[in-house]
Amino acid sequence: MLLSVINSVLEMQSLTRKADTILGFVPTMGYLHKGHLSLVEMAKKQCDIVIVSIFVNPTQFAPNEDLDNYPRDFDGDLKLLTELGVDYVFFPKTTEMYPAGYSTWVNVEGVSEVLCGKSRPAHFKGVSTIVCKLVNIVNPNYMYMGEKDFQQIAVLKRMLLDLNLETVIVPCPIIREADGLAMSSRNKFLDTQQRQDALCLYNSIQHTRTRYQQGCRTIGELIPEIEQIITKNNGKIDYIEFRTADDLKPIDQLDKNTRLFLAVYIGNTRLIDNAPLLSQ
């Protein structure tokens, strides 16, 4: 089947309400990279029909964030998705998703208030609202999401559970460049020096893993070491935190269920990364 582009909510809903097949869904904001493509490939393996949405969601950007500059390449995206055999691309206009008078929001308390939720207070409200709408429109059995946005997955799992939505999230591993930088649409904003500096996130993860292997269990010892790696490479720290992998609770001591979470500004570009302490 040839890929079809659907712009209308009603059309998308009528297509997916009829389907008696396993639907896989990959929500994206476009400007697709290998990380997104790995989600599509996983969905292709596990589902009969694969739908990808491309929508740069304005409500998850604060006024001072990069909504207008967010990279876009619809034709390039379409080419990649056609090559992968995607069935439908849902590509709505902003007015289709947020028509005049729009006033309803989904706010997941607790898990969305820590880590990125602290420095981007309205972000997860925008994410959970748009994903709730997309799930209602697409009605997928499975939704594929990358673990680079580990907190996003935790917030959305909570939302699906609390709102009795039947879609199941399939978390997929972070895809990295050969030198370890996690793939992200925002990497495009890094100049040559900043691209080099950005390695401080992955280097912090590797350093933490080595220290954990060596027996270090003390957060107070590790944080200054990570701070040093980041600042030496011109990074500005937003947060360095160790939390439980299942519910993102703060911890006193490192153990095998701990995950490291990082958010760092390289120039004006905010990069995030995370990893378990034992390499997978």
Just list the catalytic residues.
36
| Phi and psi, residue 20, nearest 5° | -110, 40
Binding ligand PAF (rule: CB under 6 A), the pick from 9, 108, 131, 226 is: 131
Residue whose C-alpha is closest to residue 218's, from 245, 252, 248, 256 = 252
Find out whether 202 and 233 touch, Cβ atoms under 8 Å. Answer: no
The secondary structure of 47-89 as a DSSP string is -SEEEEEE---GGGS-TTSSTTTS---HHHHHHHHHHTT-SEE
DSSP 268: T
Is residue 57 within the footprint of ligand PAF (CB under 6 A)?
yes
Binding ligand PAF (rule: CB under 6 A), the pick from 6, 9, 27, 51 is: 27
Beta strands in 151-202 (DSSP E): 168-172
* Alpha carbon distance 86, 32 (integer Å): 13
Binding ligand PAF (rule: CB under 6 A), the pick from 6, 29, 86, 271 is: 29
Residue among 44 and 186 whose Cβ is closer to ligand PAF: 186
Binding ligand PAF (rule: CB under 6 A), the pick from 77, 149, 197, 273 is: 149
| Contacting range for ligand PAF; rule: CB under 6 A; set: 26-34, 44-52, 213-221, 229-237 | 26-34
Least CB distance to ligand PAF at residue 225 (A) = 30
DSSP 205: H
* Alpha carbon distance 128, 107 (integer Å): 7
Residue among 27 and 117 whose Cβ is closer to ligand PAF: 27
Is residue 127 within the footprint of ligand PAF (CB under 6 A)?
yes
* Alpha carbon distance 278, 208 (integer Å): 10
Least CB distance to ligand PAF at residue 131 (A) = 5
Is residue 233 within the footprint of ligand PAF (CB under 6 A)?
no
* Residues written for the chain: 280
Is residue 112 within the footprint of ligand PAF (CB under 6 A)?
no
Least CB distance to ligand PAF at residue 144 (A) = 10
Residue whose C-alpha is closest to residue 120's, from 274, 272, 223 = 272
Least CB distance to ligand PAF at residue 59 (A) = 9
Task: Give how many residues touch ligand PAF by CB under 6 A.
Answer: 10
Find out whether 242 and 217 touch, Cβ atoms under 8 Å. Answer: no
Is residue 24 within the footprint of ligand PAF (CB under 6 A)?
no
Residue among 141 and 152 whose Cβ is closer to ligand PAF: 152
Binding ligand PAF (rule: CB under 6 A), the pick from 16, 23, 28, 182 is: 28
Least CB distance to ligand PAF at residue 84 (A) = 17
Residue whose C-alpha is closest to residue 184's, from 157, 230, 214, 148 = 148
Residue whose C-alpha is closest to residue 87's, from 135, 132, 23, 9 = 23
Is residue 130 within the footprint of ligand PAF (CB under 6 A)?
yes
Query: Which residues of the chain form contacts with ligand PAF (CB under 6 A)?
Result: 27-29, 57, 60, 127, 130-131, 149, 152
